[in-house]
Amino acid sequence: MRCAALIVAAGRGSRFGGERPKQYLDLAGQPVIRHTVRRFRDHPLVDAVVVVADPSHRACYEEALADLAIAPPVTGGDSRQESIRRGLEALAAADPPELVLIHDAVRPLLSPALIDRVVTALSDADAVLPVLPVVDTLKRVEGEQVVGAQAREGLVRAQTPQGFRFATILDAHRRLAGAELTDDAALASALGIPVRTVAGEERNLKITTPADLAEAERRLVAGQRWRTGIGFDVHRLVPGRRLVLGGVEIPHEVGLAGHSDADVVAHAITDALLGSVAAGDIGQHFPPSDPRWRDVDSAVFLGRAVELVAAAGGRVENVDVMLMCERPRIAPYREAIRARLAELLRLPRECVSIKATTTERLGFTGREEGIAAQAVVSVALSA
C-alpha cells in the first residue's frame, strides 16, 4: 500500500522564543526540519512526503528543504488540527495514498525502526499510536501545593508519527473540523475508531524549549556512527553501444559493454553503498545471468542500494567518484552527471563529486579499451 508522510511544520514556536521558528533552527549543522524530512524521504516504506508550513516562513522553508525534491508545501491553518486537515485534503486532491503517517516537524530523531513498526501495524489496523510508559510518580497540584496523586496504571505518553488508513483519518478530520482535539489519535477515538499502540522511543523527543534542542543535538551526535563504502567497476568499450556515465548519455563513437547499460559510475557507487552497510555487492542483487537486468537503466541499481542503506538506519551524506579514461573528455558533462546523481541519491549537488583522470596512455584505459570508475561514499548510521 502506498504510504505518505505528512510533516506538520506550521507552528510559530511561541513557547521556544526567538525570532526564527524552532523547526528551522540549526541542529548539528542542519535545520531541525531537514533532519525530520530526510528520515521519511529516505525510508523505503514511504512513497511521498508533504510538509504543511506557514507561508510567512517560506524563506526559511526554501533554505532548509528546497533541494530535497519533495512536493510543494501546503499552507497551514490557524491550529494544528486545521493544518493537518489541509495537508490531508492536498493529498486527497493529488494521488491519495492508502496510508498516511502524521508527524511533528520538531521530532527529528525518530528511527527507521519506529516508522517500520507504525506502518507494519497498519496492515490490520485503522489507527496506530507510538507510546512510551509513564515512569514518574504523578501528582496533582494547586498553585505550589500537592493536593493528590494520579495512578500511573493505564497511562502512556503519546508520540508521532501517528499512522492511519488515509480514508479513515481524512473522514475524521472532515467530520470533527474545529473540535481542536490534542492529536489525530484523539479524533479517531472520538469517532469510535480503535487505536492500536506500538512502542515509541525515548530518543524521539519533541523540541519545545532551548534545553530540548540542546538535548536533541547531544543525542544525535552521540547516537550517530559513520560508515565508508568503496566501489570499483570496469567495462570494455565496444562499437554499437551507448555510452552512459552517471546516468547521462554521452555522445561517443563507442560505448560500454555489459548486461545492463554498463554505467561504470553508477555501478561503482552502487557497490560502495552496499559496502557501507555490509549488504554484499551488485552481482548478488543484480546477477548478470538474470534476464530482468538486460539493458536496464542502472538508476534501478542505485535506487535499490539507497533503499538498503535507509533500511539499515543510514543516510547517504556524500559521494566521491574518480573516472579513469582517455576519452571522452568528462569536463563538458561533469555538471550534468552531478545533477543526475544528486537526484538519484537524494543529495544536494554539493555533496556529489565527479573527478576524471587519464592513465597517461598506460594500461587498458590508456589504450582506450575500457573505462574504470572508483567511488567512495560516506553514510551516517543512527543508533
pLDDT at 346: 85
The pTM of this model reads 0.74
Q: Are 326 and 293 in contact (CB under 8 A)?
A: no
Average pLDDT rounded to a whole number, residues 50-59? 94
Give CA–CA dist 352/257, Å, rounded. Answer: 25
pLDDT at 170: 98
Q: What is the percent of the chain with per-residue pLDDT over 90, rounded to a whole number? A: 82
Beta bridge partners of 256: 237
DSSP string for 271-295: HHHHHHTT---HHHHS-TT-GGGTT
Confidence at 353, pLDDT banded by 50, 70, 90: very high
Q: Which CATH number fits domain 224-382: 3.30.1330.50, 3.10.520.10, 3.40.140.10, 3.40.50.970?
A: 3.30.1330.50
3-state secondary structure of 29: coil
| Residue 9 pLDDT exceeds 60 | yes
- Using CA atoms of 109, 115, 116, 119 in order, give the dihedral in degrees to the nearest 10: 170
| Residue 12 pLDDT exceeds 80 | no
| Residue 134 pLDDT exceeds 60 | yes
Domain ranges of the chain: 3-208, 224-382
Mean pLDDT of the chain: 93
Average pLDDT rounded to a whole number, residues 326-343? 95
DSSP string for 134-190: --SPEEEEETTEEEEEE--TT-EEE-S-EEEEHHHHHHHHHHTTT---SSHHHHHHH
pLDDT at 14: 62
Give CA–CA dist 383/379, Å, rounded. Answer: 13
Burial of 307 (0-12, 13-18, 19+ CB in 10 A): middle
Average pLDDT rounded to a whole number, residues 233-244? 96
Average pLDDT rounded to a whole number, residues 351-362? 95
Average pLDDT rounded to a whole number, residues 100-107? 98
Q: Can you identify the CATH homologous superfamily of domain 3-208?
A: Spore Coat Polysaccharide Biosynthesis Protein SpsA; Chain A (3.90.550.10)
